[in-house]
């Protein structure tokens, strides 16, 4: 299926690995021009280098970063059609998962909200003039934790719930003006957040007295009730993101597309 993204300009945050990297790769395959945002590049992102890819090194925790990112993308490619707010998870200095609500201090809450919600607010503010002009699209990457509260990720859950709510509000206000706004909510995805040394898999393995491979291959899928029996692949999330970014989804507005391997059981 032609996604009708050829020549479109996209900004993707959290673009150097995991879901963001898969989104960048897929958009490039569809003929889009991509400004890939991350604190630093990776060999995997460098491998995609070409005239249609611009790496924008930026720290989204800095209030001025979003405006600078959008300006660079618009200058390099002549405008902006798609904003993918993918950056999220634990910011520098914060370790997730926790063991209790009491583990998160006030500064932890501020940091988690800064990256997972307030940075998105700033990105949207910066991008909206371009998106309104070109009747573009916003895709916010939220989480099933926005719907499924968890005491081990309480601050993250609250921030993602705010992001999902924000998406609905933006869709209601700017949809009539031609900007489509939707959310993709992944469940547990096999990304570096899980697989890196010291990542979630290692943390859970230490607490459970087992090894990281057992955690990812069987313990977590069973514990979280994943119907497919495995963690979700980043590409499976990227496919949903790119579909929502595409004019093929012109009738989809304010939706929350869940890609969670069957984790959420409620209607």
Catalytic residues: 156
Q: Which of 156, 3, 37 is nearest to 89 (CA)?
A: 156
Burial label for 75, CB within 10 Å (0-12, 13-18, 19+), is exposed
Residue with the two structure tokens 């993250």? 156
- Sheet order of strands, 82-85 included: 53-57, 33-38, 9-13, 82-85, 137-141, 180-186, 256-259
Q: Which of 111, 109, 187, 118 is nearest to 155 (CA)?
A: 109
How many CB atoms within 10 Å of residue 78? 10
Q: Which two tokens stand for residue 71?
A: 């300006």
Residue with the two structure tokens 């006030």? 106
Alpha-carbon distances, residue 20 vs 13, 72, 244 (angstroms): 7, 19, 15
* Residue 24 three-state SS: helix
What's the distance, CA 224 to chain centroid? 20
């Amino acid at each position: 299926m032609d996604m009708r993204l050829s020549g479109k300009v996209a900004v993707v945050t959290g673009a150097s690995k995991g879901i963001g990297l898969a989104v960048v790769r897929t958009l490039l395959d569809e003929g889009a021009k991509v400004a890939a945002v991350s604190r630093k590049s990776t060999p995997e992102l460098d491998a995609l280098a070409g005239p249609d890819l611009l790496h924008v090194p930026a720290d989204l925790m800095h209030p001025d970063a979003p405006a600078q990112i959008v300006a660079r993308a618009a200058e390099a490619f002549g405008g902006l059609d798609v904003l993918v707010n993918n950056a999220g998870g634990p910011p520098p200095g914060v370790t997730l998962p926790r063991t209790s609500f009491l583990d998160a201090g006030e500064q932890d809450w501020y940091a988690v909200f800064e990256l997972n919600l307030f940075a998105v607010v700033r990105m949207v503010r910066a991008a909206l003039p371009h998106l309104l002009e070109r009747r573009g699209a916003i895709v916010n990457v939220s989480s099933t934790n926005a719907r499924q509260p968890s005491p081990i990720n309480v601050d993250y859950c609250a921030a993602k719930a705010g992001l999902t709510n924000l998406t609905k509000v933006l869709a209601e206000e700017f949809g009539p003006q031609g900007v489509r706004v939707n959310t993709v909510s992944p469940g547990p995805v096999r990304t570096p957040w899980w697989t890196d040394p010291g990542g979630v898999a290692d943390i859970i393995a230490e607490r459970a007295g087992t090894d990281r491979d057992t955690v990812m291959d069987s313990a977590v899928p069973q514990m979280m009730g994943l119907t497919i029996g495995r963690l979700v692949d980043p590409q499976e999330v990227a496919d949903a993101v790119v579909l929502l970014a595409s004019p093929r989804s012109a009738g989809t507005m304010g939706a929350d597309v869940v890609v969670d391997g069957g984790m959420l059981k409620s209607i």
